[in-house]
Amino acid sequence: MDSIAAIPESEYFKAEAHLYRYIYSHINSTVLKCAVQLDIPDIIHSHGQPITIPQLISKLEVHPTKTGCVERLVRFLVHNGFLLETKVNNEEDEESEAYTLTPSSKLLVKAMEPNLAPIVRLVETGYMATFDFLGSWFKGNDKTIAEMAFGVSMWEMLEHDPLRLKSFNEAMASDSQMITKVLKDSKSVFKGLESIVDVGGGTGTTCRIISEAYPNMKCIVFDLPQVVENCSGSKNLSFVGGSMFRSIPSADAVLIKWILHNWDDESSLKILNNCKEAITKKGEGGKVIIIDAVIKEKDDDDGMMQVKLLFDILMMSTLNGKERTEKEWKKLLEAAGFKHYKTAPLSGFRSIIEAYP
């Protein structure tokens, strides 16, 4: 047996710390969920100035025996970039620590847009607990860890559980706020378009903002009937129920945002074929606008790469989907019969791909 003694002691303990950091990394998401449950971002935002620990405790609904733990929770949030420590003077002109929000925690304030708190609350649904099955999933023939955990796919689970479906749709709508901030200003993407259909558009967060930015463009939100049945449109915005695996309403352009990574290549090819048919019903022309991650191992910085790889494992195990490299996107689009496409980075970890038949 090889001896670990050959490893320098300093490296040995670094390796130990590295392992522990990943062994307990699930605590990161649960602490973030806790902060949202306790309304810490909202309390600090409403306070209107840096808040001290005693002031924060006075506004938190925590048990008296837990007040001493609040400072430790705050310390964790500061270290991980969700709170910023500063100094304030009290009535006796004594200096003490106080805390403000960072850009990351501002995204969790309910009164602000965009608001990603619904994404954090997905953890509350037991969704992440399915990852306990990941090791078993590799050894079995179940398509997803959701099927191992619940006996049904995640889509089937959402279809039969209104509360989970509501939580999922709220999370997707909150993410759409982030994308739409950039997308609505991408005038070149929408130039010359008279109509667009947002496939898998949920409750219409993205398409609604696009319709307001381009009032002369006909905008259609296309999703499952149970998703859009209670949604109301406007003068140039409508909702249509159906399945993207059967057919897609005709339009000059099809927007497919953060959808294809949910599906394997075979399913994605069916979706793309239907997208191509939707934009060519009136003849040649039109385009498909894809917003998704593009893995660029040589170009992505460590933070962006980590996010993309986390999503890849998430898609692989929960939905039988994948995040794709540039080479994989090229292969998929060519298989769907698109003759030309162009890719450009979008703000954040996703890119925009415009594909032409």
Could you tell me if 96 and 52 are in contact, meaning their C-beta atoms sit under 8 angstroms apart?
Answer: yes
Active site residue 261: yes
DSSP label of 202? T
Residue 311 to residue 129: CA distance in whole angstroms: 16
DSSP label of 51? B
Please name which of 56, 102, 58 lies closest in space to residue 79, comparing C-alpha atoms.
102
Please name which of 235, 246, 241 lies closest in space to residue 221, comparing C-alpha atoms.
241
Give 215: exposed, middle or buried? Use CB within 10 Å, 0-12, 13-18, 19+. exposed
Tell me which of 18, 63, 261, 340 is the catalytic residue: 261
Max CA distance (Å), the chain? 77
Could you tell me if 77 and 83 are in contact, meaning their C-beta atoms sit under 8 angstroms apart?
Answer: yes
Residue 356 corresponds to which amino acid?
Y
Residue linked to tokens 């307001």: 212
Residue 245 to residue 226: CA distance in whole angstroms: 16
Could you tell me if 170 and 118 are in contact, meaning their C-beta atoms sit under 8 angstroms apart?
Answer: yes
What residues are annotated to the active site?
261
